[in-house]
Structure 1
Amino acid sequence: MIDEHQLKLTNYLAAFIEELVGNGVDEVVISPGSRSTPLALLFAHHPGVKTYINVDERSAAFFALGIAKARNKPVAILCSSGTAGANYYPAVIEARYAKVPLIVLTADRPHELREVGAPQAINQIDLYGKHVKWSIDMALPESIPSMIQYARSSAVRGVAISTGNPEGPVHYNFPFREPLIPDLQKVEFAGDQKGKRVLQGDRQLSPDFQHELQETIEKSNHAIIVCGSGLCEDAVQSIVDFAEENALPIIADPLSFVRSGHHSKDTVIDCYDTFLRIEDLQESLHPDLVIRFGAMPVSKALMLFLKGLPDIPTWIVSKGEEWQDPTARGTDYIHCDESLFCKSLMKHTSQKTLSWLNHWQDVNNRTKNLLINGHQAWDEGAAVHQLIQHLPEGSTMFSSNSMPIRDLDTYFFTNERSLRIFANRGANGIDGVVSTALGMSTKSQSMYLLIGDLAFFHDLNGLLTARKYQLDMTIVVMNNNGGGIFSYLPQAVDQTHFEDLFGTPMDLEFAHAAKLYGAHYFHVTSQQEFIPALQEAEHSKGIKIIEVMTNREENVANHRKLWNFVSREMKQNMKGEHHDSSSE
């Protein structure tokens, strides 16, 4: 006798999953639970789906986020009912602001068991609020043709919304009645059958807008380009070509993919975070037009520089309608594919003089030499500089927020290697960093994570996935015993409660954590120990943890000493040049 309930459950969910897979959602991270059983079993049963199991929902969601970042494709996450879905929240928020496509699937109690005191039941309707692009409380499973079409249409609709510009997470809440076991013997996934599809196109400017913007560029003598994260390879090449044709400096964030690669770096400026701190220099660098691609860069010095400019045209170019203008200086918000934007404005460009670009290049090169030659002490900055130099060709580096990304901003200089730098800069948090990097490691041949001790402690659970799936990644932990970035902020002036509230020393070393998760471990206290540790880690498989012991107070003092040195030397150069020009 056919079990009617089981038939409905099986056909309905198989149709939903088939449409997800047909539209590119072929990886799912599952956090086991009872109520999510039917979806979990059917995902595992689908021959075209790669499944990962992660018992910690918070870690699981960030792990999926990392896979989606690496593949630039939507990834699904699945959990049971109750607070399980609440543990997805930090990663969902990051996905929303970082524009990463996540398909969030939460199982739920049926309607008659909601708000009646049933176990593992919370209000899951619109659980993520405005942090998802779309959410739906799915209907209970049925197998009549109209409901099968509903399941298919809901699946493809969610993928379309998730991958549409700007990309982001969507949420499906699935209520299930018991029994929860589908009939896997009755499932035949079609595989090559054509279902519903989502075809996304690129946006481009109308000829009238092209002409208007072209005229502005022609009249400009001191334009600059600012590049942040979120750019694809085609966009980078087009922006570089556009900059070279118009002799424009590109202020390139370390996450923009502009500082490294095989494209030309002649117009790329990489030391602006240091020299834009020098007030005496700023006026000579004031642009008359700003063209920004991607998210706002990491550098606070750049942010303040842009915010302090007099009213000038500021174009913010993006594929979608997201609002990315923290300086509130934008004058034109241009929704267009970045590559098409550059190509459309390169058709009728007149020859530009090189003096403006040469000035930026000269300031940048002098600053770079001073940074390299002026940093004598062994500290986090020196360690990051050496780490970058020793990254193998084709490596991917994931950076934690706070001090690691800022040291990368300072020391990741332009180079010809194929190196890619990523970070969770959507919400700029330190949660889930280990798991996100491990997710990326599933698609990267040579994966590195640069992280501080607080962020590492915050997501140690992520290492369980690394052991389970034998992932390969080198983790460099800068252990300064606390939150190093707070030492640069005004809170550090009054030391009365600083250590307890902001320094937060944990007095931890991670050798025991490495042993717990089966990782190779290196304890580093000097420059002489660091390079051999990197070299040994490069030739070892699995998870490698290089714990670099540093001193917070010394780091702060060394950074400020270096900034002061660069500022002093640059001012001396400016005075010398002024004297020479006056004597002529």
Structure 2
Amino acid sequence: MMKALPDTCVQLQYRAALNKLWAGLMLEELARLGVKHVCIAPGSRSTPLTLAADENEKLTLHTHFDERGLGFLALGIAKASQQPVAVVVTSGTAVANLLPAVAEAGLTGEKLVLLTSDRPVELIQCGANQAIRQQGIFSEHVTEFNDLPSPSLDISPNWLLTTIDAAMSQQSVRGGAVHFNCHYPEPLYGSDVDFSSYLTPLESWLNDGLPYTRHQQAGFGPVIIDTAAWQSMTEHKGIIIAGRMEPSELPAVQALAMKLGWPLLVDPQAGGSSDWAGYDVWLQNPHCQQQIEQAEVVLQFGARLVSKRLLQLIADHCWQQYWLIDPLSGRLDPSHRRSLRIQATVKSWADEASRLVSAFNHYGWADSLKQASATYFELLAARDNSLNEMTLAANLMQWLPQGSELFLGNSLIVRLLDMCGKLPQTATFANRGASGIDGLIATAAGVQKARKAPLLCLLGDTSLLYDLNSLALLKTITEPVVVLVTNNDGGAIFDLLPVPEQQKESLYRMPHGLEFRHAAAMFGLDYQCPQTLAEAEQACRLGLQHNGATLIEVKTPSGQSGELLKALFAEVKNATLL
């Protein structure tokens, strides 16, 4: 005789409870694998994940109403903590809004764990509400993708945990985001059910606190350098380039450059400077260019360089050897030079290379360019000292209190700092993978939540307009945070690019005629709008000592920065710097 099915209410209660059970198993395993932070946007379909995260005491929750900003918030936390960060969103376009942050993580290696909620398969492509095709939505931007079935007692919980473990193992090696698309049938709300018999295979896991499967990787291991090749390298005139690297790694590179006596060209993302600062500008001087072109080899730590002049030098010069050291795998040289590509952490490789240095054949060969740098900054200081984007970039880094950290926006502001500033040795963060202007406030908020240090965030007006919603993430921060926005009424970066003059205003710069005073008030932030360089300095210093967030808006005339830079380039090109 056929056994009768339980009544509908019992079936529905079991379904809601099983959804939550699977979500709880996933989040517990992720916590054991190093996830400490979960970023959550509101939604109904994601209820199993949201409630499971809230009940797990190992996890710290962060919330935001905007999924695009939420993705960048998670990116910032992952960037600053160097740990995987989970993101929970509901179904539909909520998932699609994560793509910009996922694309950035795919290029720069931050570890995101995307837990996206979905309708069950029977509701996909049949006219059901809020159902889009989420399978593979992030394409090759993610390291690993798993389309998880609707929770079922027919599927062993062991399978669920090993699926999590396998994807996280890939992420530990390759970085980037992993995506788990979770199909949850309704109901999504209900009471708990006793699943003890179903969980019997997990008895030891439930009691020991360890990951279910432990993948062991050798990692990079001890750094091994070919001594003969390294000795050959050091017998030439060389340049060391410091690109994107983790906080505290630059001193090891500086020590190696000092030991070799080679010039050190430091990108803003490295978190510091050198005696050769301002190279993006003085490289336009023909005498300086002739001097630097005596170099025969390049040793580059970290990729994603800001300076176009430096990238052009790497691409055009006939180097005898070009070595690029970066912890990420894959191609990182846009000029596709013949090279030695070394996958290793910057500090460990630089430390070992310093230990092996024995030849000083060309020690100090480019020291004359230190004078070129010093003379260039004297020229810069002698120019008009009114408040504009160039003088701001030249002076701003001197205003940072000890212990303050930096988040650098994209487009014009990061280039101005590269050209005109001397960055202090401090933790510096940026989104220089896809180099987008979206999500910069949210990413900076994530960095601050992970680091808990005073933070100066620099960005342009279009960038702030793009991420205005994310100012909501700053209103509850208790440490000092300053968002300094340069408002030049549109995309001033296009003043430096050969865009068609007739269409520049309407199709490229796109002036908006807006200011940010009311935006600061709307989100409960302190607001300053300095009129002089001295007022800007005072606002910045006070903001970085005051607990909470301050928005400083520096207004400059449209087109001014482009004209100032063109005049500076012309002066430096014809100046006697050496």
TM-score using structure 1 length: 0.89
Quote how far apart the aligned CAs of 1:510 are: 1.0
2:276 is the alignment partner of 1:269: yes
CA contact (8 A) 1:205 1:341 kept: no
Quote how far apart the aligned CAs of 1:421 are: 2.1
Q: 1:217 to 1:183 in 2, by over 3 A?
A: farther
CA contact (8 A) 1:247 1:352 kept: no
Residue type of the partner of 2:337?
R
Corresponding residue for residue 201 of structure 2: none
Residue type of the partner of 2:369?
W
Residue 170 of structure 2 is aligned with which of 147, 152, 161?
A: 161
Name whichever of 290-299 and 346-355 sits farther off.
346-355
CA contact (8 A) 1:374 1:565 kept: no
**CA offsets per residue over residues 111-139 of structure 1, 9 Å max, x none?**
11111111111111111001111111012
Unmatched runs of 5 consecutive residues or more in structure 2: 1-9, 197-204
2:274 is the alignment partner of 1:248: no
Q: 2:192, 2:266 → 1: CA distance?
A: 52
Residue 141 of structure 2 is aligned with which of 115, 131, 136?
A: 131
SS at match of 2:271: coil
Quote how far apart the aligned CAs of 1:249 are: 1.5
1:393-404 equivalences under 5 Å are: 393-404=402-413
Quote how far apart the aligned CAs of 1:12 are: 2.3
- Number of matched pairs: 556
Residue type of the partner of 2:316?
G
Q: 2:125, 2:189 → 1: CA distance?
A: 25
1:218-237 equivalences under 5 Å are: 218-220=234-236, 222-233=237-248, 235-237=249-251
Corresponding residue for residue 320 of structure 1: 328
Corresponding residue for residue 85 of structure 1: 95
Name whichever of 325-334 and 179-188 sits farther off.
179-188
Residue 73 of structure 1 is aligned with which of 65, 83, 102?
A: 83
2:165 is the alignment partner of 1:141: no
Corresponding residue for residue 436 of structure 2: 429
Residue type of the partner of 2:262?
L
Quote how far apart the aligned CAs of 1:396 are: 1.3
Quote how far apart the aligned CAs of 1:250 are: 1.5
Name whichever of 311-320 and 45-54 sits farther off.
311-320
Q: 1:185, 1:376 → 2: CA distance?
A: 71
Residue type of the partner of 1:294?
G
CA contact (8 A) 2:389 2:561 kept: yes
Q: 1:159, 1:283 → 2: CA distance?
A: 49
Residue type of the partner of 2:447?
M
CA contact (8 A) 1:243 1:249 kept: yes
CA contact (8 A) 2:441 2:470 kept: yes
Q: 1:459, 1:307 → 2: CA distance?
A: 35
Quote how far apart the aligned CAs of 1:158 are: 2.7
Corresponding residue for residue 233 of structure 2: 217
SS at match of 2:559: helix
Residue 551 of structure 2 is aligned with which of 538, 545, 569?
A: 545
Quote how far apart the aligned CAs of 1:184 are: 5.9
CA contact (8 A) 2:481 2:544 kept: no
2:313 is the alignment partner of 1:296: no
1:95-494 equivalences under 5 Å are: 95-143=105-153, 147-165=156-174, 167-181=175-189, 183=191, 193-196=209-212, 197=214, 201-203=218-220, 210-220=226-236, 222-233=237-248, 235-259=249-273, 269-286=276-293, 287-345=295-353, 346-347=355-356, 349-374=358-383, 376-413=385-422, 415=424, 418-442=425-449, 443-467=451-475, 472-491=480-499, 494=500
Residue 563 of structure 1 is aligned with which of 536, 556, 569?
A: 569
Quote how far apart the aligned CAs of 1:35 are: 0.9
CA contact (8 A) 2:260 2:357 kept: no
Q: 1:354 to 1:82 in 2, by over 3 A?
A: same
Corresponding residue for residue 581 of structure 1: none
Identity of aligned residues (%): 28
**CA offsets per residue over residues 358-389 of structure 1, 9 Å max, x none?**
23323333323333334544311212333211
Q: 1:522 to 1:41 in 2, by over 3 A?
A: same
Q: 2:493, 2:529 → 1: CA distance?
A: 23
Name whichever of 477-486 and 348-357 sits farther off.
348-357
Residue type of the partner of 1:236?
L
SS at match of 2:269: coil
CA contact (8 A) 2:437 2:463 kept: yes
Name whichever of 270-279 and 329-338 sits farther off.
329-338
Quote how far apart the aligned CAs of 1:476 are: 0.8
Q: 1:105 to 1:473 in 2, by over 3 A?
A: same
Corresponding residue for residue 262 of structure 1: none
CA contact (8 A) 1:81 1:121 kept: yes
Q: 1:182, 1:244 → 2: CA distance?
A: 65
Q: 1:363 to 1:42 in 2, by over 3 A?
A: same
Residue type of the partner of 2:173?
G
Q: 1:184, 1:163 → 2: CA distance?
A: 34
Quote how far apart the aligned CAs of 1:248 are: 1.5
**CA offsets per residue over residues 404-445 of structure 1, 9 Å max, x none?**
101111233154xx5222211010110011111111121232
SS at match of 2:156: helix
CA contact (8 A) 1:78 1:105 kept: yes
CA contact (8 A) 1:13 1:141 kept: no
SS at match of 1:534: helix
Name whichever of 542-551 and 210-219 sits farther off.
210-219
Unmatched runs of 5 consecutive residues or more in structure 1: 260-264, 575-584
Residue 43 of structure 1 is aligned with which of 46, 53, 58?
A: 53
Q: 1:384, 1:184 → 2: CA distance?
A: 58
TM-score using structure 2 length: 0.90
Q: 1:12 to 1:469 in 2, by over 3 A?
A: same
Q: 2:230, 2:568 → 1: CA distance?
A: 41
SS at match of 2:356: coil
Quote how far apart the aligned CAs of 1:103 are: 0.7
2:510 is the alignment partner of 1:501: no
Q: 1:354 to 1:244 in 2, by over 3 A?
A: same
SS at match of 2:43: coil
Q: 1:420, 1:336 → 2: CA distance?
A: 20
